[in-house]
Amino acid sequence: MPNRSASPTPVAILSALLQEQQGLMELLHRPQKVAHAGRDFWLGELHGRPVVLALSKIGKVAAATTATALIERFGVRRMVFTGVAGGLGAGVNVGDVVVASDFVQHDLDASPLFPRYEVPLYGRSRFEGDAALTALLFKAASAALGDGGIGGAGAAFAGARAHLGLIASGDRFVSGASESRGLHAALTGAGHEVLAVEMEGAAVAQVCHDYGVPFAAVRTISDRADDSAHVDFPRFVEEVASRYAHAIVEKLLLSLEP
């Protein structure tokens, strides 16, 4: 059994919303709060491993600030995001889990100077998750779902599936069937086969790319980004999201090498 507490650098676990972080906070050993950059960072141990829990806040800029602070101030060398997303791809249903293979910013458009979706001066439109960390996260998510549902949430989401694929991020809560169809069609038409939409992941992926910090993200589908998304989203966040985050992160931390 490796001595996990020997690890010098904590793993960062980022959530967008307090409700999503709740289940992790309850398990944090030796919690120590550090206020920095208008945020509370929680240092402690989860399953014997040093971690920093942080809220990304909502939107790409806020998430980039949190990610940068985690790297610069807290010295994290691995970052994991847990949160919720709207399902965009066919067969990506409420209660399913999407682990990001990579990210695109669906609201980035510097055309005609650069191709639609391309991040100017990076020569690319997508940022990948770290292959090894993402594989472990996908395994953890699949195992958590396979345990017959997550923390009592399973009954409501029997048959929930784990997917691995592209996630689109943008500064917009997508809550209309025609908008989500349009978003899906535009991205697919540009060669981006997207599974889910949220508001932070691509920003964190870009920051981690800049610093060379391995990053992986998992999103539970809280809504279908359609006309009832604004009702489904808060209900899911209140009732289910923290149990998903807790179950998946536990399995991931137990599987990490020091």
Name the active-site residue from 118, 223, 226, 232.
Answer: 223
Please count the residues of this chain forming the interface with ligand ADE, following the rule CB under 6 A: 14
CA distances from 25 to 1, 69, 81, 168, 193 (A): 25, 19, 15, 28, 34
Q: Is 198 in the site for ligand ADE (CB under 6 A)?
A: yes
Mark whether 20 is an active-site residue. Answer: yes
Q: Which stretch binds ligand ADE (CB under 6 A): 30-38, 44-52, 125-133, 169-177?
A: 169-177
Exactly one of 20, 96, 198, 200 is catalytic; name it.
20
What CA–CA distance (Å, rounded) separates 159 from 136? Answer: 21
> Smaller CB distance to ligand ADE: residue 144 or 229?
229
Cα 167 to Cα 245: distance, rounded to the nearest angstrom: 18
Q: Which stretch binds ligand ADE (CB under 6 A): 113-121, 141-149, 153-161, 195-203?
A: 195-203
Sign of CA dihedral 122, 127, 129, 131: negative
Residue (32 or 188) nearer to ligand ADE, CB: 188
Site for ligand ADE (CB under 6 A): which residue of 84, 164, 183, 207?
84
Tell the smallest beta-carbon distance from residue 93 to ligand ADE (Å): 13
Residue 7 Cβ vs ligand ADE, minimum distance, rounded to whole Å:
31
Pairing of strands 126-128, 97-105: antiparallel
**What are the tokens at 206?**
């870009």
Q: Which member of 85, 104, 119, 137 binds ligand ADE (CB under 6 A)?
A: 85
Type of residue at 102: D
Nearer to ligand ADE, 133 or 174 (CB): 174
Q: Which residue is nearest to ligand ADE (CB)?
A: 86
Q: Tell me the C-alpha distance between 182 and 197, whole Å.
A: 13
197 lies in the binding site for ligand ADE (CB under 6 A): yes
Compute the Cα dihedral for 132, 138, 141, 144 and give only its sign.
negative
Two tokens, residue 241:
């999201």
Please give the residues from 37 up to 66 whose contact with ligand ADE meets the rule CB under 6 A: none
Q: Give the Cα separation of 71 and 17 in Å (integer).
A: 20
Active site residue 223: yes
In terms of Cα–Cα distance, which of 20, 76, 80, 21 is closest to 50?
A: 76
Residue 229 contacts ligand ADE per CB under 6 A: yes
Applying CB under 6 A, which residues contact ligand ADE?
84-86, 173-175, 197-199, 222-223, 225, 229, 233
Catalytic positions are: 20, 223
